[in-house]
């Protein structure tokens, strides 16, 4: 460069430097201690070093040249970038802003040359700052991303706009809808410039935005690409998928019907399973919403498939998979993706994923959904023509038994509590407020004893003990469960049970002869223990008045006294939790 041009540039910088020094006169402080003699000997003596030493001695703040002025200097093609950098360093400028960097990069779009000039700035003691634009430009140059550098230098956005992440997320959605993929890639790169894993974060940001725009075809394509590259979803992406891709549902209600033309529940369930298989993490409690949506729409087959898959995924190893089989591959993936602390926990530990997924409330819901699904339609008059297996209502119990064999903690007392509640819905004396309970009661083809016997037989084969003693139905008011059944079951059902079990009339007690005070006390204890379940209050006197005419006949059946069952008030709260919540969602 001609010496006269260099001299003119120095004069411009000198004039700007004098203005800035005038602004810093009030910031002078006490004299600082000089560095030791060895540093002075090694220090390069120049106008640049002299300015820096004087600034430190007199407490003058580091110089940051006005970004607009510096940008105009870099845009002046009469000065080479090398001369500009040397001139800035000579006057002790410590930092240049994003506008100046953009003008510098616009003159040389080559990534290697941009990296070289940024290195020259650092060697001259000039920082490029911590702005998003400046750090993004450095990163794109270091990674040789020519396309992103061009998008960054040609954008009509001010560099300060890149500091606003909310604005960039809104622009990302607009770019996706418009199909401007160069802007999409640039925006994703800007949003993840400081992220420790920018590639995974960019994919997940794209999933979140496309999901919110409800572009299903594009979303599926993105998810397939992520799966092929073993990129897992983040918790934020899973939340976005559940919020935007699942049909709306209020608490205690099934999802809105007909809102979508595809199976949204299965879609999200498969995405979550793929996330686990890809080495990602899915919060155990996320599966509860999937179970609810399947169960409330009478899709019990999907409930069972998902439950068994999750039990196999999270259960401790009880088998040795043959090398090279699909089972062994899934087993290795599970061990690699599951945190060590989860693998160390026993399945009965409340922190274990199995316990968080298959809670007491969830296990009870399985039984309720199985009964509801089996009794949607009336049973055919000819049992041989039925396509359903015998005792199809017990599919929820069978699922709980299968989960128990896979390591899930399943309490027999909990199964008994829910079995009692379902029998009270099917054979109860009161009309349920829930449509599916009334429908099931109208379509049940079995007697109460047949259902109890089948449940006992199935549980005894799998667990070695029965769930409940059918004689508790007619034990009378001195027994807690006897009072519970007397309050709930229809009188014809109780008479049929007593006749089937062959109870003797001399040991029976007429309901009209019962002492109401002990029965009411038992009712209060059962209600406080949670065994009333569905929140329906029971009036002892109302029940007595309802059966008073039948009690006057000599053939009136009574309830046998004596109890061998455990007091419900002593059942742990975890085993007799309030069924009200389950009833709302089950």
pLDDT tens string 241-288:
999 999 988 888 888 877 677 899 999 999 999 998 888 889 999 999
| Beta partners for residue 489, in sequence order | 428
pLDDT of residue 539: 40
- Three-class HEC string of 22-52: HHCHHHCCCCCCCCCHHHHHHCCCCHHHHHH
pLDDT of residue 392: 86
Say which residue the tokens 């993490």 belong to: 281
Please tell me whether residue 409 adopts helix, strand or coil conformation: coil
Question: Could you tell me if 210 and 218 are in contact, meaning their C-beta atoms sit under 8 angstroms apart?
Answer: yes
Rounded to 5°, angle at Cα 311 from 310 and 312: 90
pLDDT of residue 343: 63
Picking from 341, 264, 354, the residue whose alpha carbon sits closest to that of residue 308 is 354
pLDDT of residue 397: 94
Question: Could you tell me if 137 and 114 are in contact, meaning their C-beta atoms sit under 8 angstroms apart?
Answer: yes
pLDDT of residue 51: 55
b or e along 16-40 (b: 16 or more beta carbons within 10 Å of the residue's beta carbon)? Answer: bbeebeeeeeeeeeeeeeeeeeeee
Distance CA 101, CA 210 (A): 33
Per-residue pLDDT of the chain (586 residues; tens, 9 = 90+): 445 545 555 565 555 545 444 444 444 444 344 444 444 444 444 555 555 555 556 555 555 667 788 888 888 888 888 888 888 888 778 888 899 899 999 888 789 999 999 999 988 888 888 899 999 999 999 999 999 999 898 888 999 999 999 999 999 999 999 999 989 999 999 999 999 999 999 999 999 999 999 999 999 999 999 988 989 899 999 999 999 999 988 888 888 877 677 899 999 999 999 998 888 889 999 999 999 999 999 999 999 999 999 999 988 754 444 455 545 555 555 555 556 566 667 777 888 899 999 999 999 999 999 999 888 877 666 656 666 677 889 999 999 999 999 989 999 999 999 999 999 999 988 888 888 888 888 888 889 999 999 999 999 988 889 999 998 888 876 677 888 888 888 888 888 888 888 653 334 444 444 444 444 554 555 455 554 444 344 443 333 333 333 333 333 333 233 333 333 333 333 333 344 444 444 4
Distance CA 18, CA 99 (A): 22
Measure CA of the first residue to CA of the last residue in the chain; give whole Å: 82
Residues of the chain by 3-state class (helix, strand, coil), percent to 5: 65, 0, 35
Q: Write out the E strands in 80-125.
A: 93-95
Residues constituting the chain: 586
pLDDT in tens, 322-331: 455 545 555 5
Distance CA 224, CA 543 (A): 62
pLDDT of residue 332: 56
Cβ neighbourhood burial of 138 (10 Å; 0-12, 13-18, 19+): middle
């Amino acid at each position: 460069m001609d010496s006269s041009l260099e001299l003119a540039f120095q004069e411009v910088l000198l004039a700007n430097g004098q203005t800035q020094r005038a602004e810093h006169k009030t910031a002078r402080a006490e004299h600082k201690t000089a560095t030791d003699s060895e540093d002075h000997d090694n220090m390069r003596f120049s106008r640049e070093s002299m300015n820096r030493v004087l600034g430190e001695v007199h407490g003058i703040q580091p110089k940051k040249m006005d970004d607009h002025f510096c940008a105009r200097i870099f845009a002046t093609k009469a000065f080479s970038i090398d001369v500009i950098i040397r001139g800035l360093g000579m006057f002790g400028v410590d930092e240049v802003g994003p506008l100046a960097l953009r003008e510098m990069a616009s003159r040389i779009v080559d990534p290697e040359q941009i990296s070289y000039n940024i290195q020259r700035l650092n060697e001259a003691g000039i920082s490029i700052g911590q702005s998003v634009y400046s750090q993004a430009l450095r990163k794109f140059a270091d990674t040789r991303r020519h396309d992103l550098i061009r998008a960054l230098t040609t954008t009509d956005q001010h560099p300060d706009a890149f500091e606003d992440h909310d604005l960039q997320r809104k622009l990302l959605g607009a770019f996706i809808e418009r199909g401007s993929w160069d802007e999409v890639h640039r925006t994703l790169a800007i949003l993840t410039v400081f992220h420790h894993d920018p590639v995974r974060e960019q994919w997940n940001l794209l999933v979140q935005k496309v999901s919110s725009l409800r572009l299903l075809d594009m979303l599926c394509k993105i998810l397939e690409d992520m799966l092929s590259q073993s990129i897992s979803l983040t918790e934020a992406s899973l939340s976005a998928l559940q919020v935007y891709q699942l049909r709306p549902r209020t608490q205690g209600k099934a999802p809105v019907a007909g809102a979508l033309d595809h199976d949204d529940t299965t879609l999200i369930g498969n995405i979550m399973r793929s996330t686990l298989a890809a080495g990602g993490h899915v919060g155990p409690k996320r599966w509860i919403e999937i179970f609810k949506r399947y169960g409330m729409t009478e899709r019990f087959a999907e409930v069972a498939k998902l439950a068994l898959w999750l039990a196999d995924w999270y259960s401790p190893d009880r088998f040795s998979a043959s090398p090279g089989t699909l089972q062994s591959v899934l087993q290795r993936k599970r061990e690699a993706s599951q945190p060590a602390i989860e693998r160390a926990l026993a399945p009965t530990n409340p922190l274990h994923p199995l316990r968080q997924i298959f809670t007491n409330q969830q296990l009870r819901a399985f039984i309720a959904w199985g009964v509801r699904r089996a009794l949607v339609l009336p049973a055919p008059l000819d049992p041989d023509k039925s396509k359903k297996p015998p005792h199809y209502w017990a599919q929820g119990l069978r699922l709980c038994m299968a989960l128990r064999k896979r390591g899930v903690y399943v309490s027999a007392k909990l199964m008994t509590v829910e079995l009692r509640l379902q029998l009270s819905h099917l054979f109860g004396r009161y009309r349920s407020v829930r449509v599916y309970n009334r429908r099931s009661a109208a379509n049940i083809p079995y007697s109460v004893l047949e259902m109890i016997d089948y449940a006992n037989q199935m549980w005894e084969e799998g667990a070695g003990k029965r769930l409940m003693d059918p004689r508790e139905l007619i034990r009378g008011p001195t027994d807690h469960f006897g009072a519970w059944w007397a309050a709930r079951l229809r009188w014809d059902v109780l008479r049929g049970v007593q006749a089937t079990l062959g109870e003797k009339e001399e040991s029976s007690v007429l309901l009209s002869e019962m002492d109401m005070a002990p029965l009411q006390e038992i009712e209060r204890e059962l209600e406080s223990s949670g065994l009333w379940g569905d929140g329906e209050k029971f009036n002892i006197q109302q029940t007595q008045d309802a059966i008073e005419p039948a009690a006057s006949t000599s053939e009136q059946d009574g309830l046998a006294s004596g109890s061998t069952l455990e007091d419900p008030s002593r059942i742990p709260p975890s085993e007799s939790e309030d069924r009200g919540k389950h009833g709302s969602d089950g």
